[in-house]
Structure formats: C-alpha cells, structure tokens
Structure 1
Amino acid sequence: MLNIFARASVSRVTDPVGTWLLRRGVTPNAVTIIGTAGTVLGALWFLPRGQLFAGTLVITFFVLFDLLDGAVARASGAGTRFGAVLDASCDRIADGALFASIAWWCLIVADDRPAGAAALVALVGAQVISYVKARAEATGLTADGGLVERAERMILALVGTGLTGLGVPYALDVALWVLALLAVITVAQRIVAVHRSAKEQAG
C-alpha cells in the first residue's frame, strides 16, 4: 500500500543518490547484496542478544538499501531480469532473518510464547504473500496490493522492536499481533485477486 502512495516522493530523494552511486561504479546488484547482508547480520547479531534498539537502528539503515538498488537501476537506464530475481530473493532472505530473530527473542529471551507465535505467523505470512504474487505472475495472472506489503511489514516490525528496546511495554507484542492479523488478511486478498484475474482472463 505504501509502495503506491510513497513511491514518487521517495524516488525524488533516492534517484539522485542512485545516480551518484552509479557514477562511482556501484551496481544495483551490489547495493542489493550489501543491504541484505547488513540486514541479516544485524538481525541475527543484535536481536537474539536482546539489543533491540541498537538492532533496530542497524537493520533500518540496511533496509534503506532496498530503496537504493532500484534508484541505481533507474539511473543505469533499466534493470535486468536477473537483478529483479536477485532483489526478490534477497528480500525473502532479509524478511526471514528479521522475523526469525524476533521470534527467537520472544521465545528464548523474553519467554513470551504468544508474541513468539505471532512472530512466526508474520514470518510465514510474509513469505506466502510474496509467493502468491510471484506464482501468479509466473502463470500470467496478477496479485498486486493488499494491506501489508514489504514496506508495511518492515515498518511495523521495526517500530515494535525499537520501542521495546527503549522500554515501551507491549510495543512489540502489539506490533506482532497486528502484523500477523494483517498478513493473514493480505494473503486472502491476494488469493482473491488471483481468482479475479483468472476469471477475467477466462471470460
């Protein structure tokens, strides 16, 4: 949802940065890999150790690289099919590392099983949301939209970890349960969208 409304505003900021990086020989794929590696390492290092606020800052910094790889690709004239696959694959890896680390903190460090369960639902939901779209597009159908795409998932999760790291009670619990619920709804929305697309093509 945020992708639709914020894309133009974000591009005005990121496109000049993308042009600057391209002129210095940085490729879109390099930006993708650096961002993913930083996100994964930040999540796996800080969150299971209970360093939620520090982890949030590090992860947020590297998540922003996901905005820059597209900007570098636009500056180069066009992205490549390999770059698109690499970007989508790295997004799934980063999502998995983030939510797995949050689940670990909930279950092992905080001994909070309900929040851990919500984190696992959010983890599975994030993967399924992306899979439905990819599988639909591979068969010539569409499955766009939904309440929580990747940007919303990252914002909700990182706001929750950041506020919890600052000592705000139940911030992560609320964020995870909201995210888990919205993820389930989004999966349903995308399946409905696929069904509608299939009916339109059949008709």
Structure 2
Amino acid sequence: MAKIFQVTARAGMTRVVEPVARGLLRAGVSPNAVTVTGTVGVLVGALGFGARGQLVAGALIVTFFALTDMLDGTMARMSGGSTRFGAFLDSSMDRVADSAVFGAVAYWLATEGNHSGVAAALICLAAGGLVSYVKARAEGLGMTGDVGVAERTERLLIVGVGGLLTGLGVGPALEIALWLLAAVSIFTVGQRVAHVYRQAQLVGRE
C-alpha cells in the first residue's frame, strides 16, 4: 500500500514538475544551477528560520526548496540524461541539505530542553545518511539498493509536516514526527541491506 501511494504521489508531482522543468530549460537554466539553488534555499529555511524556532516559515521554505530534488532530475532527463558530475553534485548537495535540516531541528529542540526530540533528530540524521550510503555503496559494487519506505523526499516531508504542526501550536507534533521518521529510516536501512544481501547471494551462486 505504501509503495502504491509513493508511486501515485510521484506521478502526480511529475505532472506538475515537468512543465516547470521544460520552462527552465528553455530559459537556459541548467539542472546543476537548480540543484545548488535548492540547497541554498533549504539552508536558509533550516538555519535562518528553523534553528531560531520559526518553524512554520522554516518548514514551508524547506519543503518548497526540497521539491527541487525532483525538478533538477526531471530537467536532466529532459536534456538527455544526468552527467556524472551532475549526479555527484546532486548527491553531495542532498547530504548538505539533510544535515542542515536535522542539525537545525536538533539545535532548536536542545534550546527548548527537549532531550527526547534531540535524540530522535540525531537518529534521523544518522539513519538518513545510512539510507543514502547503503544505496551508493551497493551501486558501487554493481548492485542496486533503491528500495524502502522512506526515501529522501518522504523523510523531508515527514519532518516538515511535524515542524509545521508544532509551529501552529500542536506541541508534540515535531517530536512525534521525528520518532516516526527515525523508525521508518532504520527500517529502510534494513530493507536495503536485505535487498543487497539477496543480490550478493544470487551472484555467489552463479
């Protein structure tokens, strides 16, 4: 069910993103420029607003610019496919943006004395890095690791909704979202490790 929802949501987003991507390409904007702009926007939202407790503004800015992760990929595909440097830049900027988001959340929660929330944010940061690393390492070994319930866009949306609700007065929403995200991120790491293990076993039998 979760996978069906993911596919449906992404298909809907693609219909929105494609006209924007086409327009930017016609205007001479490169996918790499969109990647860097998106990362800068996330940094502004996370560090300039979220870390200072302005959660509604921070969540809205981060969510808006996080969606450029789909936009630059669509632009690359429309322009003939991603270059090696483009893929490297995109992955590197994703790690910068993710670190800023969860670092900002952990900092703000620490200033509020919410140690449970800080722990959840740090687990999310570490597990999110592992989710990406397992996939990258698998691909480096000639296998695939792109499975799991919590990919990057879903992770940012979960923490974004939690931050937005807390900013609107639903006190524990952010902490709940972080613990939920920590759980699904760890589960996703397990899914990817198991997926790679099965591939390695099949290769070993050949």
TM-score normalized with structure 2 length: 0.94
Q: Which residue of 2 aligns with 1:40?
A: 43
Unaligned runs of 5+ in 1: none
CA distance in 1, matches of 2:31, 2:107: 32
- How far is the alpha carbon of 1:3 from its aligned partner? 5.2
Aligned CA-pair RMSD? 1.3
Q: Equivalent residue for 2:125?
A: 123
CA deviation after TM superposition for structure 1 residue 4, in Å: 3.7
2:60 match:
57
Higher alpha-carbon deviation: 28-37 or 9-18: 9-18
Q: Is the 8 A contact 1:3 1:151 kept in 2?
A: no
State the number of aligned residues: 202
Task: Tell me which residue corresponds to 2:115.
Answer: 113
Aligned runs of 1:112-191 on 2, under 5 Å? 112-191=114-193
Q: 1:143 and 1:64 mapped to 2: Cα distance?
A: 22
1:6 deviation in Å? 3.0
Q: Indicate if the aligned counterparts of 1:17 and 1:71 stay in contact, CA closer than 8 A.
A: no
Encode CA deviations 1:94-129: one digit per residue, 9 max, x unaligned: 111101100111112x11000110000000000010
How much does 1:20 deviate? 0.6
Q: Distance in 2 between matches of 1:81 and 1:101?
A: 30
- Counterpart position of 2:105: 102
Q: Which residue of 2 aligns with 1:85?
A: 88
- Report deviation, 1:5: 3.8
Q: Return the offset for 1:15.
A: 1.1
What amino acid is the match of 1:184?
A: I
Q: Decide which of 33, 53, 60 is 1:30's aligned counterpart.
A: 33
Unaligned runs of 5+ in 2: none
